[in-house]
Amino acid sequence: MVWTWRYEKADGSAVTPDGGQEEFAGQGDAETWIGETWKQLAEGGVETAVLLEDERVVYAMSLSEA
């Protein structure tokens, strides 16, 4: 299983962050990574981060501070 994040703008369109897409061996690794980088992603135009296990959506979360 591969864990990844999908990034979206406020209108739902996809955002590809600088450096491409990260892949993680487990959910905990993916969540730790987003916890460390969410501010930079938000500054780059990401509104929502969607956690995927392979192609299955696990959950989505807003990166807005509001």
Which residues of the chain fall below pLDDT 70?
66
User: Across 1-66, where does the E strand assignment appear?
Assistant: 3-8, 14-15, 23-24, 48-53, 56-62
Structure tokens at 48: 């929502």
Q: What pLDDT does 17 receive?
A: 77
pLDDT attached to residue 46 = 93
pLDDT score at 20: 77
In this prediction, residue 34 carries a pLDDT of 96
Query: Which range of residues forms the domain containing residue 18?
Result: 3-62
What was the pLDDT predicted at 11? 93
Q: CB under 8 Å to 26, separation ≥6 — which residues?
A: 3
C-alpha 54, offset from chain centre: 14
Question: What domain count does the chain have?
Answer: 1
